[in-house]
Amino acid sequence: MIEYNDYISKLKGRTEPIDYGMMFEAIEQKIAKQKAAQNKVVFRGALAGALSIFIVGLAFYLSYPAMRGGNDQMLSYIYGQPEITDGPVIDYVFSD
């Protein structure tokens, strides 16, 4: 019968050689990959932020004259002209 203590001794003795140098290289490669992926995310975030700031700025720029009442200025220009009450055109229209 396998005794519990024998089993534990077998587990304690269970070590296999490993190439630590190769393992370290593999770990470093994974770290580099993770860093590259992280940088990609940061870059994409920054790009999305810059783009949204640009779009908001553009929208604000395009709607700025309307917000300042630019249309009112145009209308007041049209309706602010002196009324034409006489002249050759008026004479022609009203003469039979």
Partner 1 sequence: MDFTQIYNENKENVWKLVSRYVFAREDREDLFQEVFLNIHKALPRFRGEASVSTWLYRVTANTAINYLKRRDRHRRIVDVLANLRIVEAEEPTEMEAGSLERPLAKLNPRQRMVLILSDVEEKKLEEISEIMGLPVGTVKSNLSRAREVVKKELMKIDRI
The nearer residue to partner 1, 13 or 80, going by C-beta atoms, is 13
- Give the Å distances, CA to CA, from 48 to 36, 44, 71, 76: 18, 6, 34, 42
The nearer residue to partner 1, 3 or 91, going by C-beta atoms, is 3
Burial of 25 (0-12, 13-18, 19+ CB in 10 A): exposed
| Interatomic CA distance for residues 18 and 60, integer angstroms | 63
Number of residues this chain uses to bind partner 1 (CB under 8 A): 21
CB of 67 to partner 1, least distance (A): 48
The nearer residue to partner 1, 15 or 81, going by C-beta atoms, is 15
- Give the Å distances, CA to CA, from 15 to 8, 10, 18, 23, 41: 13, 10, 9, 16, 40
Window 15 to 44, contacts with partner 1 (CB under 8 A): 15-16, 18, 20, 23-24, 26-27, 30-31, 34
Residues engaged in binding partner 1 (CB under 8 A): 1-4, 7-8, 10-12, 14-16, 18, 20, 23-24, 26-27, 30-31, 34
